[in-house]
């Protein structure tokens, strides 16, 4: 296939004609495929069904330390589940808080609290003028949703193969005291699949922020969501921060939403003891703590971190053919046209798909008209503004492989049509 940018106007018109025939054929099928939802598929959910039998009317519901999980008490997680999270984060149990079912909610609360009450005795963020967050993009729309809700000025940062652009980050964080935070998904990032290199993590930890109350929001949502190749471990940023005199600079988040059941899972965070104590002081006002029975249910289901990793291998077996189908279909259908490029992640939940510049919105629109729902173009950028209008997040986990192949074929046709429209308009 000749790359589109090298085609003559006649060749483009001919290509458009062929693609339009295929597009109309898809449209006539009256499809209704949803590619926007980064959710586990039914087979994955089945993996955790035995967990629902583990805690029953015959169970002893006491923790290892003898607390009754059926009653009030223990706000920050039962000891055994704190141990599990400590193992996952590579920290000590007193650096762990386990609370509720939503790590997003923990992030929201951290920011809400910093806005209203400040961090470790510092001035409330809300009283310091309009503060700023750095937002490596494309990134997770719900991170950006939180900072937008609190009217925090979001600055997009480019992401490279080894993580976000550290030169820019260092410049901004170290010169501007209004920069209070950065959103990071350090492993199998949403949506790019990028894993931060050791150098990136270490440069993060070595930052000398202009703001004393600058924080790294380290959402390690996909830390165990390995799929292909070698599962590279990232450097432990909390350790590195401590080594570099920044012990309180990072909040790490994690949940079992995509390990057991979204909504019925466990969420947790890891941070310095000083931060933990400040957060627990707030929690003692805010809540009666998490669902300790569900904590026990998870703990007895996993046994320990090895049990959790075995569960992740089962997830990977289910997901691999889906991710492979996406790669194969896109490779076949986009070919050398240059109409798009896309990520080939080693883990996580997404494939990041870049159309030619200025073609993402049109591609999503064409897909919708052919019955394929994609995440709205721009969703992966702060304020939904993709400066190059090219990024589309593909969520391959939930549809069947058959539907995935159909949807990816349609996406490819739509991306190619959009590219041609763009080139013809120039």
List, in sequence order, every residue forming a beta bridge with 218; answer none if it has no partner: 184, 252
Min dist CB 285 to a copy of itself, Å, is: 5
Asked if residues 78 and 299 have their Cβ atoms less than 8 Å apart, the reply is yes
**C-alpha neighbours within 13 Å on the C-beta side of residue 301:** 25
The dihedral through the CA atoms of 77, 78, 84, 87 has a sign that is positive
- Select the residue interacting with a copy of itself from 52, 120, 368, 424 (CB under 8 A): 52
Binding mask 108-147 for a copy of itself (x = CB under 8 A): x---x--xxx--------x---------------x--xx-
Length of the chain: 426
**59 lines the binding site for a copy of itself (CB under 8 A):** yes
- Select the residue interacting with a copy of itself from 12, 31, 178, 264 (CB under 8 A): 264
Q: Which stretch binds a copy of itself (CB under 8 A): 153-161, 280-288, 369-377, 418-426?
A: 280-288
Min dist CB 231 to a copy of itself, Å, is: 25
Cα 26 to Cα 60: distance, rounded to the nearest angstrom: 56
The dihedral through the CA atoms of 302, 296, 105, 178 has a sign that is negative
104 or 359: whose CB is closer to a copy of itself?
104
CA distances from 248 to 119, 243, 277 (A): 10, 11, 11
Min dist CB 276 to a copy of itself, Å, is: 18
Min dist CB 182 to a copy of itself, Å, is: 19
- Select the residue interacting with a copy of itself from 196, 254, 261, 301 (CB under 8 A): 261
- Select the residue interacting with a copy of itself from 17, 70, 320, 332 (CB under 8 A): 70
Structure tokens at 91: 């920290």
Min dist CB 38 to a copy of itself, Å, is: 8
The dihedral through the CA atoms of 77, 225, 257, 183 has a sign that is positive
Cα 49 to Cα 257: distance, rounded to the nearest angstrom: 14
**313 lines the binding site for a copy of itself (CB under 8 A):** no
Structure tokens at 89: 């984060």
Cα 225 to Cα 137: distance, rounded to the nearest angstrom: 21
Asked if residues 182 and 216 have their Cβ atoms less than 8 Å apart, the reply is yes
Binding mask 359-398 for a copy of itself (x = CB under 8 A): ----------------------------------------
Count of residues touching a copy of itself (by CB under 8 A)? 53
The helix (H) or strand (E) run that includes residue 314 is helix 305-334
Min dist CB 257 to a copy of itself, Å, is: 7
55 or 194: whose CB is closer to a copy of itself?
55
Structure tokens at 283: 């929690």
Asked if residues 406 and 397 have their Cβ atoms less than 8 Å apart, the reply is no
108 or 228: whose CB is closer to a copy of itself?
108
Binding positions for a copy of itself, rule: CB under 8 A = 37, 39-40, 42, 45, 48-50, 52-53, 55-57, 59, 68-73, 100-102, 104-105, 108, 112, 115-117, 126, 142, 145-146, 149-150, 257, 261-264, 282, 284-294
């Amino acid at each position: 296939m000749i790359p589109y940018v090298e085609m003559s106007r006649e060749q483009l018109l001919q290509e458009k004609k062929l693609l339009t025939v295929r597009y109309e054929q898809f449209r006539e099928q009256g499809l209704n495929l949803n590619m926007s939802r980064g959710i586990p598929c039914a087979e994955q959910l089945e993996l955790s069904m035995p967990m629902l039998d583990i805690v029953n009317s015959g169970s002893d519901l006491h923790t290892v330390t003898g607390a009754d999980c059926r009653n009030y008490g223990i706000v920050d997680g039962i000891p055994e589940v704190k141990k599990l999270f400590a193992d996952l984060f590579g920290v000590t149990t007193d650096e762990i808080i386990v609370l509720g079912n939503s790590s997003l909610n923990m992030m929201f609360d951290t920011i809400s609290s910093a806005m209203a009450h400040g961090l470790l005795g510092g001035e409330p963020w809300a009283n310091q003028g309009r503060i700023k967050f750095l937002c490596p993009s494309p990134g997770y729309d719900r991170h950006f949703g939180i900072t937008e809700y609190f009217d925090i000025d979001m600055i997009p940062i480019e992401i490279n193969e080894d993580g976000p652009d550290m030169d820019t980050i260092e410049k901004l964080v170290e010169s501007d005291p209004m920069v209070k935070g950065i959103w990071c998904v350090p492993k199998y990032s949403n949506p790019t699949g990028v894993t931060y290199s050791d150098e990136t993590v270490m440069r993060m930890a070595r930052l000398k922020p202009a703001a004393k109350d600058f924080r790294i929001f380290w959402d390690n949502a996909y830390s165990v969501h390995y799929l292909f190749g070698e599962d590279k471990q990232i450097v432990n940023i909390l350790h590195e921060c401590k080594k570099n005199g920044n012990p309180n600079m990072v909040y790490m988040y994690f949940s079992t939403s995509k390990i057991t059941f979204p909504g019925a899972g466990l969420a947790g965070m890891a941070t310095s003891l000083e931060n933990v104590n400040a957060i627990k002081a707030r929690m003692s006002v805010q809540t009666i703590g998490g669902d300790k029975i569900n904590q026990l249910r998870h703990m007895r289901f996993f046994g320990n971190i090895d049990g959790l990793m075995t569960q992740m291998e089962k997830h990977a077996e289910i997901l691999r053919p889906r991710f492979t189908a996406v790669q194969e279909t896109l490779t076949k259908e986009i070919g050398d046209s240059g109409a798009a490029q896309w990520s080939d992640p080693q883990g996580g939940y997404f494939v990041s798909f870049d159309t030619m510049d200025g073609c993402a919105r049109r591609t999503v629109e064409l897909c919708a008209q052919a019955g394929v729902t994609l995440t709205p173009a721009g969703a992966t950028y702060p304020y939904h503004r993709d400066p190059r209008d090219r990024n589309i997040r593909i969520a391959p986990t939930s549809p069947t492989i058959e539907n995935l192949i159909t949807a990816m074929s349609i996406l490819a046709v739509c991306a190619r049509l959009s590219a041609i429209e763009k080139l013809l308009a120039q």
